[in-house]
Structure 1
Amino acid sequence: MTPELTALALAALLQYAQFVAYAVPANRDLGPGYTSSARDRPPSRDMAPVTARLGRAFDNHFEALILFAIAVGVIQMSGQNSALTAACAWVYLAARLCYIPAYAYGLRPWRSLIWMVGFGATLIILVSALL
């Protein structure tokens, strides 16, 4: 497996880990009655700030993961894998790992800078395919 595909597989597993990191405290904060319901009404209690941030970080990774998967797919299918694209794939994964605690603990401006590193790494992979 190429480094880019390995990073993509690990990024997908990270999404599962983020789900657990968010779902467990959300279930505790909102109660299983609400979290197992159809959620037709707003919750009767609020989530803790860290729990809510973990949920937003989880959602953000879905958005970033789509672009990263496209970038890896394009590089992979075009056979244009290189040391640069491999490095960018690992940078993306490292950035996403760092993003979770940065978001959860409200580390500003670091959260945004970390996000930009991962986003930039994905962009470089895509641009590399077009050059």
Structure 2
Amino acid sequence: MRKRRVRAALLSVAILGLLPLSAAAAPAAAAPQRAPVGEARIVIHQGTSTGGRVIAAATLYCFPTGGTHPRPYSACRALARAGGDIGALESVRRPCPMVYRPVTVVAKSFWRGSASFVVRGYSNLCTAVADSGGVFDLSRRTYG
């Protein structure tokens, strides 16, 4: 009989001891996440128009970084240098083959309340990646 009372008392103390922890944890779990500073949606079409087959598409969120872009950190840095303006991305020097495989890139971004939209044609995917500072690089492979 005494053992039951001791167990019941210990169980009560244990339960009461856990209540403040669970009550404190609940608001932390419900805290809203910070909205991104900027975001971009990029779609790459095969050919010379937006009517071509979609060969790649990605969403990019910046600060906090995320989305489906394969290299979100470097893409967000490049987009931040351009002030979030997709049309003002700095090109990078990079050797590209002189092969004509045209692509058309459709990209829109929202950055600190401002929007930008671009539709551009390129002779091949390599030149699109170089012209965008790597933001349009949606390939899953890495370059050495």
Please tell me the TM-score bracket, short chain as reference. Answer: under 0.3
Q: Could you say which structure has the larger radius of gyration?
A: 2
Looking at secondary structure, tell me which structure has more helix per residue: 1
Q: Which has the higher strand share?
A: 2
TM-score by length of 2: 0.26
When the two structures are superposed, what TM-score results if normalisation uses the length of structure 1? 0.27
